[in-house]
């Protein structure tokens, strides 16, 4: 029997030990039935309102529990899934799981779900997303879809799809912002609501003034375009303080929480919200 890796034992599979291409082909084939056989798990990383310190949502991050290889990280199988087309099934599975979970979170806490470039090319995307909201009962304002700059650059299918999704009240975030090549003019025409500042810029905040200059520029740009900013990969209290000083709205990173299993994120979001904090302190002072 294959060893069951625990939820938090990260056994990262590293390709390249064998012939990479043959190995990718093998993984690609295994992926075909990974969804059907329940090998995909979705973890959720809390997203924090930097001004209050309270969670306001969580990002869905997929893991593949391969029966023989252990946990395969998304960066090791999403690109393969994109090439073979299984990403459409994988992406829809993650979306549905995330919407189901988020429906049980308190208040207006939202799920932020990554979409790949290939999903954006799928003409059935809008109907599929709206179908998931319908089935799960999650209101559209509690769903954010994350896409990368490169996934939408110069595209005639993606932009109308994003416009329709937005018209339904779903928010769109640009993930890893700053690592692509979109011009300011282009960005100003994109149907988006949120910029996620890439982790590489957040990591620079501790070091040099040049590092913080980029983050500062992205935040001013977002302010001009009336977009919300999210910083990813916050690992230190200094980074959080600097981001807050610069006016960044939201943050996520190991400083607050790692990606958590569904029951753990429910507990996190429930126990760290404003309502929970005030009722907890009220009951403490009452006893
Ligand atoms: P991403 O969307 O930019 O997600 C952020 C990544 O940074 C996640 O890696 C997360 O675990 C990691 N992270 C979060 N906080 C910290 C921190 O403080 N320090 C460091 N060093 N890392 C942090 P993960 O889960 O391995 O995902 C990697 C990428 O895979 C994601 O980058 C996303 O592009 C892609 N991905 C994950 N799940 C999905 C999915 O369901 N669909 C699609 N299309 N892509 C996905
Ligand atoms: Mg993301
Ligand atoms: Mg990101
Ligand atoms: Mg990133």
**Tens digit of each residue's pLDDT (9 = 90 or more) over 235-247:** 999 999 999 999 9
Using pLDDT thresholds of 50, 70 and 90, give the confidence band for residue 277: low
Can you tell me the mean pLDDT for 64-79? 95
- Residue 239 beta carbon below 6 angstroms from any ligand 1 atom: no
How high does pLDDT run on average in the chain? 88
Candidate from 119, 195, 230, 232 with most ligand 1 atoms within 8 A of CB, to mutate: 232
Residue 86 burial class via C-beta count within 10 angstroms: exposed 0-12, middle 13-18, buried 19 and up: buried
Does 11 or 174 have the greater pLDDT score? 174
pLDDT at 24: 83
Q: How confident is the model at residue 156 (pLDDT cuts 50, 70, 90)?
A: confident
**Mean pLDDT (whole number) for 45-51:** 97
Residue 2 has pLDDT above 50, yes or no: no
- Record the pTM: 0.90
CB 144 within 8 A of CB 166: no
Burial class (CB in 10 A: 0-12, 13-18, 19+), 123: exposed
Q: Does 147 have pLDDT greater than 90?
A: yes
Among 74, 147, 237, 238, the mutation site with the greatest number of ligand 1 atoms within 8 A of its Cβ is 74
CB 243 within 8 A of CB 234: yes
Q: Which residue has the higher pLDDT, 273 or 240?
A: 240
According to DSSP, the β-strands at 143-148 and 110-114 are: parallel
Nearest C-alpha to atom 37 of ligand 1 is from which residue?
61
In ligand 1, which atom is closest to the CA atom of 255?
18
């Amino acid at each position: 029997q294959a060893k069951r890796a625990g939820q938090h034992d990260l056994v990262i599979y590293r390709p390249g030990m064998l012939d990479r291409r043959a190995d990718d082909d093998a993984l690609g084939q295994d992926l075909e039935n990974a969804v059907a056989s329940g090998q995909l798990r979705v973890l959720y990383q809390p997203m924090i309102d930097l001004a209050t310190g309270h969670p306001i949502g969580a990002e869905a991050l997929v893991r593949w529990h391969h029966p023989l290889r252990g946990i395969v990280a998304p960066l090791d199988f999403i690109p393969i899934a994109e090439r073979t087309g299984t990403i459409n099934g994988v992406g829809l599975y993650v979306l549905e799981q995330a919407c189901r979970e988020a429906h049980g979170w308190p208040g207006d806490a939202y799920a932020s779900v990554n979409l790949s470039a290939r999903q954006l090319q799928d003409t059935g995307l809008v109907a599929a997303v709206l179908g998931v909201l319908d089935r799960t009962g999650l209101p559209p304002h509690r769903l954010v879809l994350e896409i990368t700059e490169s996934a939408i650059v110069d595209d005639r299918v993606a932009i109308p799809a994003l416009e329709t999704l937005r018209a339904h009240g779903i928010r769109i975030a640009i993930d890893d912002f700053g690592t692509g090549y979109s011009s300011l003019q282009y960005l100003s025409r994109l149907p988006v609501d949120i910029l996620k500042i890439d982790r590489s810029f957040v990591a620079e905040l501790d070091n040099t003034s040049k590092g913080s200059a980029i983050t500062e520029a992205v935040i001013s740009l977002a302010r001009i375009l009336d977009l919300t900013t999210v910083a990813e990969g916050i690992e230190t209290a200094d980074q959080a303080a600097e981001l807050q000083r610069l006016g960044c709205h939201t943050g996520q990173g190991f400083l607050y929480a790692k990606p958590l299993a569904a029951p753990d994120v429910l507990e996190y979001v429930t126990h760290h919200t404003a309502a929970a904090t005030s009722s907890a302190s009220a009951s403490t002072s009452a006893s």
